[in-house]
Amino acid sequence: MSYMKSILDKKCEAIFIKSIDPKEIVKKWKNNMEIELDDEFKNLNSIDYFKCPNTGFSWYEPKEAAGSSNLYEQLEKFEWYYMREKWEFTMALNLINQQSKILEVGAGGGHFLKLAVKKNHLAHGIELNPKRAANMRSLGYEIKELTMNQLKKKTNEKYNVICAFQVLEHVSNPLEFISDMISLLNQGGKIIVSVPNAAVMKKIDPNNEDLLNQPPHHMGHWDKNVFYALEKLLPLKVKSFHYEPLASYHITWMTTQYLRNKILFMGKFFSRLLVNRYTTLPLQFLLHFGIKKYLPGHTLLVELETI
């Protein structure tokens, strides 16, 4: 394995963890999701997984493994992919001062923008999915089909708050991504991001075998320690962390995956035979009726301030 610098802390050498076969991933997306991946992904020889020893951040190389807009257009056929109501939308709005100027990066279906406008914020968005962007513009929202780097070159606009919900884990250049956010903020501005909580995901998917937790979908894995490490790399300060309680629509998935991993030593066949949506019904019942609110769910929301 060739020498690799950490993509977050450029001063340290990355730790190689494993390689995965892109051809196997292509087959799984086709068979399990009925999604055809781009030729650019199909032609990759290998995808490598690394960890930064100084920050704890784990990520995949090469950058070409990141999904294109074509992938996300195909994912739109699943109702669960772009949800209208998300815990992090309400939580983020509770952290934003009245009548703020907000930019949402990766505005998706515009569901957060709609809530922000109702709260009397001046809310704009950027979205690289042409169909999504056109649809939001037809509804009256100001949406640009630009990256943040392109946006700052075309305009002098600055924002009080920049939000990105379930976006950061998809990007292959996170340090540049967050630096671009900072450059578009007013002095003392705020960044609010939500990501899948890697600390929770490690318990239900320790080997990152879930198709949505690896390329071409996810390119990096984030937890609170990685965000704290950013304080030494960028002019940012962590102001608060917020943990999503276990959501009702995640109970079956998270319960079965967690318990299967506990008995994985018995082999995949027996772990799936013994733990499934039916054998875990008693536990699911208990979680649905109260216990779930005491357990951490899928998402971590982070409030960062520029300094």
Cis peptide bond prior to 62, omega within 30° of 0: yes
pLDDT value at residue 76: 85
Q: Name the nearest CA neighbour of 219 among 107, 106, 62.
A: 62
What confidence category does residue 130 fall into, taking pLDDT thresholds of 50, 70 and 90? confident
Question: What is d(CA 168, CA 92) in angstroms, rounded to the nearest whole number?
Answer: 16
| Residues 257 and 204: beta-carbon distance below 8 Å | yes
pLDDT value at residue 278: 85
Q: Name the nearest CA neighbour of 41 among 31, 29, 50.
A: 29
Give domain status of residue 44, yes or no: yes
Q: Does residue 54 carry a pLDDT above 70?
A: yes
Residue with the two structure tokens 């250049």: 173
Give domain status of residue 95, yes or no: no
Which residues does 254 contact at the CB level (< 8 Å), separation at least 6? 204, 246, 297, 298
Q: What is the pLDDT of residues 209-246, one digit of tens each?
A: 999 999 999 999 999 999 999 999 999 999 999 999 88
Question: What is d(CA 125, CA 108) in angstroms, rounded to the nearest whole number?
Answer: 9
| Residue 293 parent element (H or E) | none
Give domain status of residue 47, yes or no: yes
Question: What is d(CA 103, CA 109) in angstroms, rounded to the nearest whole number?
Answer: 14
| Residues 112 and 89: beta-carbon distance below 8 Å | yes
Q: Does residue 305 carry a pLDDT above 90?
A: yes
Give domain status of residue 24, yes or no: yes
Question: What is d(CA 134, CA 143) in angstroms, rounded to the nearest whole number?
Answer: 8
Q: What is the pLDDT of residues 55-102, one digit of tens each?
A: 999 999 999 999 998 898 899 888 888 777 899 999 999 999 999 999
Give domain status of residue 193, yes or no: no
Q: Name the nearest CA neighbour of 247 among 213, 197, 208, 303.
A: 197
Question: What is d(CA 253, CA 283) in angstroms, rounded to the nearest whole number?
Answer: 12
Which residues does 21 contact at the CB level (< 8 Å), separation at least 6? 46, 47
Q: What is the pTM of this model?
A: 0.89
Domain that holds residue 49: 15-67
Question: What is d(CA 219, CA 176) in angstroms, rounded to the nearest whole number?
Answer: 14
Question: What is d(CA 57, CA 279) in angstroms, rounded to the nearest whole number?
Answer: 35
Rg of the chain over all Cα atoms, to the nearest angstrom: 20
pLDDT value at residue 35: 96
Residue with the two structure tokens 């807009």: 69
Give domain status of residue 172, yes or no: no
pLDDT value at residue 34: 95
* Residue 271, helix vs strand vs coil: helix
Give domain status of residue 36, yes or no: yes
pLDDT value at residue 2: 57
Q: How far is Cα of residue 163 from the mean position of the Cα atoms in its chain? A: 12
Give percent above pLDDT 70 in the chain.
99
Q: What mean pLDDT do residues 255-280 have?
A: 82
What confidence category does residue 285 fall into, taking pLDDT thresholds of 50, 70 and 90? confident
Q: Name the nearest CA neighbour of 111 among 99, 101, 123.
A: 123
What confidence category does residue 190 fall into, taking pLDDT thresholds of 50, 70 and 90? very high
Q: What mean pLDDT do residues 141-145 have?
A: 91
Number of domains the chain contains: 1
What confidence category does residue 136 fall into, taking pLDDT thresholds of 50, 70 and 90? confident
H runs (alpha helix) in 111-211: 111-118, 130-138, 148-154, 174-183, 198-204
pLDDT value at residue 151: 94
pLDDT value at residue 193: 98
Q: Name the nearest CA neighbour of 123 among 151, 104, 136.
A: 104
Which residues does 65 contact at the CB level (< 8 Å), separation at least 6? 22, 41, 44, 47, 172, 215, 216, 219
More confident: 294 or 69? 69
Side-chain half-sphere exposure of 69, counting CA atoms within 13 A: 12
Q: What is the pLDDT of residues 146-170, one digit of tens each?
A: 999 999 999 889 999 999 999 999 9
Mean pLDDT, the chain, integer: 91
Q: What mean pLDDT do residues 26-49 have?
A: 95
Give domain status of residue 40, yes or no: yes
Query: Across the chain, which distance is largest between two alpha carbons, in Å?
Result: 59
